[in-house]
Chain A
Amino acid sequence: MKKAKASLITTFTWVLVFLFFFPVGWMFLNSFKSENDASSIVPKLFFNIDTSGFQRLMDRGMISYLEHSLASSVTSTLLVIALAVPAAYALSIRPIKNVQDALSFFISTRFMPAAASILPLYMIFKTLHVLDNVGALTLVYAAMNLPIAVWMMRSFFSEVPLEIVEAAQIDGANFRTELTRVVLPIVLPGIAAVALICFIFSWNEYFLATLLTSNNAKTTPPFLASFVDGRGLFLSVLSAASTVAALPVIIAGWIAQKQLVRGLAMGAVK
C-alpha cells in the first residue's frame, strides 16, 4: 500500500517534470527539423534530421554576436569578482561599523532598477562615442552584478572560522599571505558560484543590451529578438538560434548545480 502510494507520487513527479521541461525539449527538437516539419500543424515527434537551421544562423553572422556576449559576460564577471572579493573580505572578516553601512548600501542598489541610471549612461556613452561598444556594455554589466555578488560572497566569507585567521595573524602572516593562503582556499567554491551566477545574468541580459548596442557590439539576446521578421517560416531557425544561445548557460548550470544552489540559497539565507 505504502509502496503503491510512493510509486504513484513518483509517477506524478515525472509527469510534472516532463510538462515543465517540454518547451525546452521541443525547442531542441525543432532546431533539428526542416522548416516545414517544425511548422507542421500536427506536431511531429519523428522527422528527418535537418541541420540547415544552424547553417542559416552562420550565414546571418550569429558567431560575432556570440563573441560579443562572451566578451562582455566573461570580462564583467572577472571585474565583479576582482571588486567583490576584497569588499566581502572587509565586510565579513574585518567588519567595522561604517563598513556594515556600506553593505546595506550595496544591497539597496540592487533594488534600484536599471531605469534609474540608464538615461545618463546612454547620454554619457553617446558623448564619449562608446555607444554600441562591448567595453561600455561590460562596465554596465559589472555595475549591475556587483551588489548581488558582494552580498552572496559576504556570506561565503563569513563561513571562514575567525580562529584560523587570527592564528595566521599571530603567526605573523601579513595581509596578502593571510588572504591568499588562508582565506581564499576556503572560499574558492563560493567565488566559483558567484562567478557562475554573474556570468548567467550577463549572458542572458536583454534590456540594457537593446538600449546600449546596435550593430558593432550587439549581443545574442537582441539578435534573437530581431530574428523574427514575419516573412516565411522561421520556427526551425529560431529554435536553432535559441538552442545555441541557451546551451552554454544550460550546460554550465547543469554541471555546476551544487554551486548554483549554494550561491542562490547560501547568499540569500544568512
Chain B
Amino acid sequence: MTTTTPAVASIGKVAKKNVWLSRSLILPALTFGIVMTQIPFLVTIYFSLLNWNLLKPGEIGFAWFKNYISVFTTGDLVPSIIATVGITASAVILSLLFGLLFAILLDRNFRGQALARTLVITPFLIMPAAASLIWKYSMFDTSIGIINWVTTSLGLPSIAWSTDLPLATVIIVLTWQFTPFFMLILLAGLQSQSREVIEAASVDGAGALRTFQWMTLPHLRQYIEISVLLGSIMLLQVFDPVAIMTKGTGGTKTLAYLLYERAFIGLDVGQAAAYGVVTVVLTLIVATIALKTLFKVFMAGGNR
C-alpha cells in the first residue's frame, strides 16, 4: 500500500501535465474556429434584430423581431426551404445510386480499371463554377448544346433546360459532381470486404443478388451513412449552379442564394441576417431529420 502511493501520485502528476498539454495543443484551433465562425454567428443574431439597410445608413435601430416576422410572412422562406431540401435530397439519392453502381462496376477486375476510376472521379475534382458553365453552355444550350443535338437528331423536340426545367438542370449537374464522392467512399467500403466470405457464400450456392443483399449491403451500411451525411452537409449549402445556371428561378432559389440576394443585391443587412439565422437552424434540423429518415428507409429495405 505505502509503496504504491508515490507511484500513484506521480502518475497523477503526469496525467495532470498531459491534460494541460492536450488543452494547449487544441487551443489554437479552437480559438481560431471560435473567432472566425462562432463569434460572427452571434453577431449575425445581433444584426438580425436590427433595422439596418445599407441604402438608409441614417436609420439604424433596434427592430427586435420585425425582420423575423417579415422573413416568415413575405412568402419567400417556404419555397426556399422546399428548394433547398428538394435539391439536396434528390441529388443525394441520385448520387448515392449512381455512386453505388459505379463502385460495384469498378470493384471488378478488368483491363483499364485504374483509368476508368480516374475518369469517373474527375467531375468531383473539376471546379464547380466551371462545371456549371460547361453544362449550361456546351451541354444544355438550346442551339449549341450537345444534348439538344442528340434529342433533335432523334426527332425529339429541343428543350431549353435551364429556363424550362431549372430544377432538373441543377439536380443533374449536382448529381454529376457528387457521384464520384459517393463512389469513392463506397468503393473503399467494397474493397474492405473480405473476399473469402463472399467466395464462401457463392460456394454455398448463394446467388450474386442474395450475396449482395445479405452480405455486401449490411457491410456497406456505415459507408453509406457517412457518405450521405457528408454529402448532405455539402449539398445543403449549394450555391454555385443556382447562381450560375438559373439565378434562383423556377423553384431553385436555395437558402444560400436567397441570403445572397437579400444581403448583396437588396442591401438589407438586418433581414439578410435573419435569413442567415433561420438557415442555420433549418440546416441543423434538416440534416438531423433527413439523415434519420433515410437510414430508417434503408434499414427497413435491408432487413425485410
A21 to B120, CA, bound (A): 6
A164 interface residue per 8 A CB criterion: no
B78 interface residue per 8 A CB criterion: no
Stretch at the interface among B64-72, B110-118, B294-302: B110-118
The answer on a CB contact under 8 Å between B106 and A13 is yes
Partner pick for A95 among B22, B124, B240, CB 8 A cutoff: B22
A266 to B41, CA, bound (A): 30
The answer on a CB contact under 8 Å between B280 and A207 is no
The answer on a CB contact under 8 Å between A120 and B47 is yes
Give the chain B neighbours of A253 by CB distance below 8 A. 121-122, 124-125
Give the chain B neighbours of A6 by CB distance below 8 A. 108, 110
- Chain B: interface secondary structure? helix
B251 interface residue per 8 A CB criterion: no
A80 to B287, CA, bound (A): 25
Given contacts A224-B129, A235-B138, contact A113 B33 (CB under 8 A): no
The answer on a CB contact under 8 Å between A245 and B244 is no
The answer on a CB contact under 8 Å between A13 and B105 is yes
A235 to B143, CA, bound (A): 12
**Number of residues of chain A lying within 8 A (CB) of chain B:** 96
Given contacts A42-B149, A117-B44, A235-B137, contact A99 B243 (CB under 8 A): no
The answer on a CB contact under 8 Å between A115 and B279 is yes
B236 interface residue per 8 A CB criterion: yes
The answer on a CB contact under 8 Å between A118 and B239 is no
* Closest Cβ neighbor of B278 among chain A residues: A115
* Closest Cβ neighbor of A250 among chain B residues: B125
The answer on a CB contact under 8 Å between A220 and B32 is no
Give the chain B neighbours of A102 by CB distance below 8 A. 26, 30
The answer on a CB contact under 8 Å between B127 and A203 is yes
A21 to B118, CA, bound (A): 10
A123 to B264, CA, bound (A): 12
Given contacts A83-B29, A99-B23, contact A265 B184 (CB under 8 A): yes
The answer on a CB contact under 8 Å between B40 and A117 is yes
The answer on a CB contact under 8 Å between A260 and B121 is yes
Q: Which of B18-41 contact A (CB under 8 A)?
A: 18-19, 21-23, 25-26, 28-30, 32-33, 36-41
Q: Which of B175-197 contact A (CB under 8 A)?
A: 176, 179, 181, 184-185, 187-189
How distant is B83 from chain A, measured CB to nearest CB, in Å?
Answer: 14
A49 interface residue per 8 A CB criterion: no
A51 interface residue per 8 A CB criterion: no
Give the chain B neighbours of A47 by CB distance below 8 A. none
| Chain B interface size range | 35 or more
Q: Which of A255-270 contact B (CB under 8 A)?
A: 257, 260-261, 264-266, 268-269
The answer on a CB contact under 8 Å between A268 and B185 is yes
A134 interface residue per 8 A CB criterion: no
Mark A75-103 against chain B: 1 for CB-CB distance below 8 A, else 0: 00000000110110111001110110010
Give the chain B neighbours of A130 by CB distance below 8 A. none
Mark A223-237 against chain B: 1 for CB-CB distance below 8 A, else 0: 011011000001100
B100 interface residue per 8 A CB criterion: no
A210 to B133, CA, bound (A): 16
Given contacts A39-B144, A268-B226, contact A115 B184 (CB under 8 A): no
Stretch at the interface among B3-11, B159-167, B209-217, B253-261: B253-261
Given A20-B123, A90-B26, 16 more pairs with CB closer than 8 A: A21-B119, A23-B131, A41-B149, A111-B233, A111-B284, A112-B283, A119-B44, A120-B47, A123-B269, A204-B127, A207-B240, A224-B130, A250-B122, A253-B125, A264-B230, A268-B229
Q: Which residues of A contact B (CB under 8 A)?
A: 6, 9-10, 12-14, 16-17, 20-24, 26-27, 30, 38-43, 83-84, 86-87, 89-91, 94-96, 98-99, 102, 105-106, 109-124, 139-140, 142-143, 146-147, 150, 175, 200, 203-204, 206-207, 210-211, 220-222, 224-225, 227-228, 234-235, 238-239, 241-242, 245-246, 249-250, 252-254, 257, 260-261, 264-266, 268-269
Name 20 A/B residue pairs within 8 A (Cβ), A-sorted: A12-B105, A13-B108, A13-B110, A20-B102, A21-B123, A26-B139, A41-B149, A99-B22, A102-B26, A112-B283, A115-B276, A203-B127, A220-B129, A242-B126, A242-B134, A246-B130, A250-B126, A260-B121, A260-B184, A264-B230
